[in-house]
Amino acid sequence: MGNKLDLVINENYSKLNSIDLHILSFIQNNLQLSTTLSIARLAESCNVSTATILRMTQKLNFSGYSEFKYFLKNDAVKKEEESVDIIEVLNQDISQTIKVFKQNRQIEEIYRMIDEAENIYAYGTGQGQRLMLQELARCFLNVNKKIIMVPTSTELKIIKQYMSKKDLLFIASWSGRIEKYKETLLNLEVLGIPLVSITNLNNNELSSISKYNLYFQSTSVDKVMNINRSSYLTLHLVLHLLYDGYINHLM
């Protein structure tokens, strides 16, 4: 489905009847094919007349079928280029996440902290982060290490009073913003309770107040929709690298 075509349809939706929507549905589901069809072939494929196709294009504010077809070709090319870009973005994010993990000079100390901690806690600032940490906790059971999941910032505030310097807290956050639990974290820092932040690769408040840091790179690939499709992929990757690295550490 072409992104620009969607916008054009939405802008002119009130002009369109059920037959127009039938034609546009065919085009949306067969965008690449539609860019190659003559008006006669498109009409045949949709079981309508060429005049119906022409009227539909004019309702969308095109001068005729030729201009509409040119528009479809550009929309299809743009969509294909975006797909390639997304793959490249994911590849770069994965490569950078692995590179930064390998260069992290705190890793061995983090492994030591995991070894020595009396209690290990994990808190994710969002549902996706919590799911990734739950998977990490499941993996660490294989080496007889129990990670206690902290479900919300309220529970984090409650548990804080029972934590000691011999414990360890992992906090995963995409943005690293800590407005909702800043006071709790600052109290933990004052108490000397070691924190391991897991955040996107940028300057952020969470990593700045944490003694230990793990980073993943996650590039926004849809600025219009404000959707980041790769954040959990590379977050999962860095946690997987942490677990695999800890296994090697034990050998």
* pLDDT tops 50 at residue 240: yes
Residue 2's pLDDT is 47
Please give the Cα distance from 245 to 241 (Å, whole number). 6
177: left (phi over 0), alpha (psi -120 to 50) or beta: beta
Span 21-66, pLDDT tens digits: 999 989 988 888 888 899 999 999 999 999 999 999 999 999 989 9
- What are the strands of the beta sheet with 195-200, ordered from one edge? 147-150, 120-124, 168-173, 195-200, 212-216
